[in-house]
A and B are shown apart, each in its own frame.
Chain A
């Protein structure tokens, strides 16, 4: 860089001489010399000043290169800060991801998204409303204190408190807990007011020490962790974690430190990765960049299945969308494979149900694959019935979602619908859907672990603001099946019930299930051991390392 300054200094001098010579005011050599002199001095001063300024830049470069080679720290980018560092309050994805790294919970999830043992070694539904949980022994917090059933009880009892200044956002998930009984230091019972088989998947709150769990407002720096890492430093835009040397729930982490940097702009995330200022970015780079990234010599891309479903939703309060012929015509007109190939660069697989094909609860009874002739025929029938075929697709302002919405609109226009796309700021978008002001929209369900998601999404009582039935779909037969399935403990019976549920859903089409997006991570080639978890968590940072 100092060489660049020298070059720039001489360039300035040449430029000043050129401009002086072309100035008609300068008649004599003496006048020319006089006019150039100050500029020559100025450019030499500039040269020295820039060299002095840029010398630290060279040192900074070296320091950046050194830090990128620092094999003891993994630097990960997230696109937003966790809402809360207290596991009892964070209900956004990043709060869960962080809690997974610094706390231990009763239940964990493996790479496929299946429930696995965490702090709980075993759990059994003794009755439909009583869950008995055995804890692993000799698990400790970072302070050395052992984790016992009393700590677990205190953590979950917090959600039942009515004297809090601000209720926990997670309280809704535990509203059915009637009582928590400690049997001994390593056995606990959860008594529910009514059966809820999916309750087990909610036992993911980070366990706090009994003394801390009773305190309403905790400073993150004071939390005693039983997870693989502990909080070292919290900045405005970054979180530093260090290895918890007392961690004994699983294999201790391989890396000493993790720096989580909040990088909100996608281009900046990619630039930092390329430069070596970041090691891992997961799911927050647009898919249209992936083909270029795959050719980059210093970066690797890891791809895996995701626990999410992108869908095209229908508002049953709308006259057109409550017409089953219209919904079927739309389903047959959407060319999912084309959209997956050209917009998502094959980072998705077509969906035919709310849950993934690999799930033991998956059932396929009826498909509405792309078929232009069927779609056109249905549209003709609608036209004969004088049905107005104009409607809007609402979407968020996410770039990819807008492109997908426009592509779908084009496909639907080809069969005879008149479609407009309206992209809205996220808050307005969700508000419109919940108020029933969206005829159709493109949405996504993420991170669900249990087929009870069907109840949440399609039960009549779950219409907003009570739940996720955003299309205001009503079907008494389906309602009964959903309620029965959520209370059924026997696996075989559950599978049969969810098969029936999917039969109705696939026939009635309250949604067109579009695809399940893949999870993907872009990381530096020297990062090893990082694998993807289907629900997007960063659990594999516990095993990841750098060469």
Chain B
């Protein structure tokens, strides 16, 4: 397991490098000059050339990439083109907001989907199951950009319970977390149901009942654990996606997260921020995937990681 973990950690490096180089190369071809964004049209050609040189934009692409990675080794991700602040500072002031929201969204989706999926599996092909399926369909069909404003209108404006937007106090977390967690809950509940139905047909379940174990113990201690490998996969993948910023939700709820920063950077052609975020996102995603794989081994000791 240790060897497996170390090997996977080593794989992080070439994958992250490849992703960053690819994105840096693509950005080279994006139309729009960041110098135009900074200087207005009164600036002379000499001033433009000088700024381009100061920002290193006149260097060839391979030179830019190499000097970027040299900086990364000393944790220097460069400075923002538009406001001059270090990229790492900008990311660190927003990272916590994204992490908090992602964790809460995943928790909400687990709290809804696991019990719902279990009940749906236990009551398969009954009105309860159909109701749960309907919930899943609705959850998956509702896009964030529709659900978010709907929740604002009902819970913030009409009922006045939650603030409309912003990150200010515990109550401000609920609506954005529910918006993010709703579709994940729908997918997870279906996955839970399918996995549970398959497990409930196993022989060990009959053995457990015949030994006199209660229904709840059999379902939630034994069956759910065996069914949880695909569930953990989905949770892991989705958590990685959420950590890299929920752009639409962050915009609707003015959430000062990394997705918002990325969109801003793309609009302003702020290449250091884009590159820095891509680097961090790819590392995060790979680490989450590794953690998910390690979790399999813990959940099901029969799984051997090689």
Contact = CB atoms under 8 A, between A and B. Distances in A.
A277 B33 contact: no
A35 B153 CA distance: 38
Given A169-B39, A456-B41, A271 B269 contact: no
A444 interface: no
A21 B107 CA distance: 32
Most buried by B among A84, A237, A261: A237
A275 B166 contact: no
Contacts of A431: 31-33
Contacts of A1: 159, 161
A428 interface: yes
Contact of A265 (B37, B44, B157, B251): B251
A19 interface: yes
A463 B40 CA distance: 14
Nearest to B171: A60
Contacts of A465: 36, 41, 45, 48
B251 A236 contact: no
Contacts of B166: 237-238, 261, 277
Contacts of B93: 236
Given A265-B254, A277-B163, A428-B31, A172 B47 contact: yes
A83 B34 CA distance: 13
Contact of B164 (A83, A262, A277): A277
A222 interface: no
Interface string A164-202: 011101111101000000000000000000000000000
B54 A83 contact: no
B7 to A, nearest CB: 38
B162 interface: yes
Interface in A320-361: none
Contacts of A38: 216
B184 to A, nearest CB: 20
Most buried by A among B93, B123, B157, B160: B160
Given A23-B126, A277-B164, A466-B44, A427 B157 contact: no
B84 interface: yes
A175 B44 contact: yes
Contacts of B38: 91, 169
B171 A57 contact: yes
Contacts of B40: 91, 169-170, 172-173
A169 B51 CA distance: 9
A61 interface: yes
A236 B95 CA distance: 12
A167 B51 contact: yes
B164 to A, nearest CB: 5
Most buried by B among A175, A261, A272: A272
A20 to B, nearest CB: 9
A280 B186 CA distance: 39
Interface in B137-190: 149, 152-153, 156-157, 159-167, 169-171
B83 A84 contact: yes
Nearest to A173: B42
B251 A167 contact: no
A236 B163 CA distance: 18
A22 B54 contact: no
B31 A264 contact: no
A160 B74 CA distance: 34
B44 A83 contact: no
A263 interface: yes
Nearest to A238: B166
A61 B54 contact: no
Interface in A246-278: 261-265, 267-268, 271-272, 274-275, 277
Contacts of A271: 149, 152-153, 156-157, 164-165
A427 B160 contact: no
B211 to A, nearest CB: 20
B127 interface: yes
B252 interface: yes
B163 A22 contact: no
Nearest to A64: B163
Interface string B19-35: 00000000000111100
Interface string A23-47: 1000000000000001000000000
Contacts of A277: 163-166
A427 B163 contact: no
B253 interface: yes
B14 interface: no
A428 B38 CA distance: 16
A167 B50 contact: yes
Contact of A172 (B36, B43, B127, B267): B43
Contacts of A476: none
Contact of A467 (B42, B164, B165): B42
B128 interface: yes
Nearest to A23: B126
B133 interface: no
Contacts of B171: 56-57, 60
A430 B43 contact: no
A14 interface: no
B292 interface: no
A32 to B, nearest CB: 14
Interface in A199-253: 217, 235-238
Nearest to A1: B161
A423 to B, nearest CB: 15
A54 interface: yes
A166 B31 contact: no
Interface of A: 1, 19, 22-23, 38, 54, 56-58, 60-61, 64, 83-84, 89, 91, 165-167, 169-173, 175, 217, 235-238, 261-265, 267-268, 271-272, 274-275, 277, 425-428, 430-432, 434, 456, 464-468
20 contacts: A19-B131, A22-B126, A54-B161, A57-B171, A60-B162, A61-B161, A89-B84, A91-B40, A166-B54, A172-B43, A237-B167, A261-B254, A263-B254, A264-B260, A265-B165, A271-B153, A275-B164, A425-B267, A431-B33, A456-B42
Given A272-B164, A467-B41, 7 more contacts: A166-B55, A172-B47, A175-B47, A235-B256, A268-B152, A428-B32, A466-B41
